[in-house]
């Protein structure tokens, strides 16, 4: 398969970034602020764990199993390796590091197994299952690595790549994390955040490269955009449901 031309790839990238520009929910400032309670954080984190955190490497592996081009398989394999083993960062899987962070909040693994998902969360998770089982690897790759792993900050990172952080910069980031600042979470429990800071920038660029460089047909590109827009809408409904469960109201 020939790589996409520079101009067409640039246009497609802009369309992808326009979707990601909308991946912001009004309740995020509440969860990052000092007024949110630990009971509300528990609702938020239990849903996140059940929707995608626990099974993220498995969902990626489904996409890898669709046999994409070799360079894409390599990028997916590196992502799966890191998510499932921490082999590129701290030597522990990201789901396990997530639970360590939760223990720092006073939550136990029993609070997360089995996860009791809200109806909107179940709908969103079923959509992720469906997309990662899609016959076109590009659909699942875009949904999981661009949308699920990505954020409203993608445009800044993709257009103006950040430099790798030093150990000192990562520790400063951890010290200023909302869970540490507002909820007195020990920095010792924050290895998940450290792992993200070590590898996230490279993963963002890999995510876009997988579809920009190896999906050239207009039909497939349109299918990706359609699925990402649906993913965005389902994600927003899911986050609305979490906000309601936490008793938060849009100002």
Q: Is residue 1 part of a domain?
A: no
Tell me the pLDDT tens digit for each residue of 68-89.
Answer: 999 999 999 999 999 999 998 9
Indicate yes or no: pTM above 0.85: yes
Give me the CATH number covering residue 40.
1.20.910.10
Residue 97 and residue 91 in contact, taking contact as beta carbons nearer than 8 Å: no
Mean pLDDT of 15-39: 96
Residue 134 Ramachandran class (φ > 0 left, ψ -120 to 50 alpha, else beta):
beta
Query: Could you give the number of structural domains in the chain?
Result: 1
Q: Is residue 250 part of a domain?
A: no
Banded pLDDT at 203 (limits 50, 70, 90): confident
Banded pLDDT at 116 (limits 50, 70, 90): confident
Q: Is residue 60 part of a domain?
A: yes
Q: Is residue 157 part of a domain?
A: yes
Q: Is residue 114 part of a domain?
A: yes
What the block records as the tokens of 77 is 């394999």
Q: Is residue 251 part of a domain?
A: no
The pLDDT of residue 7 is above 70: no
Provide the domain limits for residue 223: 6-245
pLDDT at 115: 74
Mean pLDDT of 142-163: 95
Q: Is residue 132 part of a domain?
A: yes
Tell me the pLDDT tens digit for each residue of 166-198.
Answer: 999 999 999 999 999 999 999 999 999 999 998
The pLDDT of residue 57 is above 70: yes
Q: Is residue 130 part of a domain?
A: yes
CA distance 56 to 128: 10
């Amino acid at each position: 398969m020939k790589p996409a031309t520079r101009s067409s790839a640039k246009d497609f990238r802009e369309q992808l970034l326009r979707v990601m520009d909308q991946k912001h929910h009004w309740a995020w400032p509440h969860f990052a602020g000092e007024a949110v309670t630990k009971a509300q954080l528990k609702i938020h984190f239990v849903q996140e764990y059940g929707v995608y955190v626990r099974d993220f490497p498995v969902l990626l592996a489904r996409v890898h199993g669709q046999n994409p081009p070799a360079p894409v398989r390599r990028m997916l394999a590196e992502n799966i390796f890191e998510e499932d083993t921490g082999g590129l960062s701290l030597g522990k899987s990201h789901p396990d590091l997530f639970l360590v962070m939760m223990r720092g909040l006073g939550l136990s693994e029993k609070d997360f197994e089995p996860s009791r998902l809200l109806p909107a969360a179940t709908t969103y998770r079923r959509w992720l299952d469906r997309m990662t089982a899609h016959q076109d690897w590009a659909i699942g790759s875009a949904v999981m690595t661009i949308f699920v792993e990505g954020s409203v900050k993608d445009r800044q990172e993709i257009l103006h790549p950040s430099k790798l952080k030093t150990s000192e910069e990562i520790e400063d980031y951890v010290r200023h994390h909302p869970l540490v600042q507002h909820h007195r979470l020990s920095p010792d429990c924050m290895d998940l955040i450290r792992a993200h800071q070590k590898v996230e920038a490279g993963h963002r660029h890999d995510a876009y490269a997988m579809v920009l460089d190896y999906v050239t047909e207009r039909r497939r590109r349109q299918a990706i955009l359609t699925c990402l827009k649906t993913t965005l809408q389902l994600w927003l409904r899911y986050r609305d449901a979490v906000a309601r469960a936490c008793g938060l109201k849009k100002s």
